[in-house]
Amino acid sequence: MISLEDCIALCDLTPEEVAAIAEHEHMPEVSAAALGAYLLHRDKGEAVVMGMIRDDIRAAIAAGDARHARQLVHTYALFVREHPRVAG
């Protein structure tokens, strides 16, 4: 059986990025890994993932969850560093 770790290893995203997609889309992380892999191979898909993480940051701030917001900001920064096309 393929595990979540296997799915994440195949999708070119970190576990935190997959978790952010899962949070944004209200779906299991295995499904989020598949969605993330799909998006990374689509035109402007990296920008979609970046937008999901930004939305999650906003939601965490609105919910008063500063700790989670900080974690998501870190995830966002790492995503931008690993996917520089989207930041430029």
Closest CA to 82 of 60, 50, 52, 58: 50
For residue 1, the model assigns a pLDDT of: 80
The pLDDT of residue 87 is above 70: no
The pLDDT of residue 62 is above 60: yes
- Is 0.75 surpassed by the pTM of this model? yes
The 10s digit of each residue's pLDDT in 65-75 is: 999 999 999 99
The 10s digit of each residue's pLDDT in 2-61 is: 887 887 888 889 999 999 999 999 999 999 999 999 999 998 999 999 999 999 999 999
How many C-alpha atoms does 72 have within 13 Å on its Cβ side?
A: 24
CA distance linking residue 42 with residue 59, whole number of Å: 26
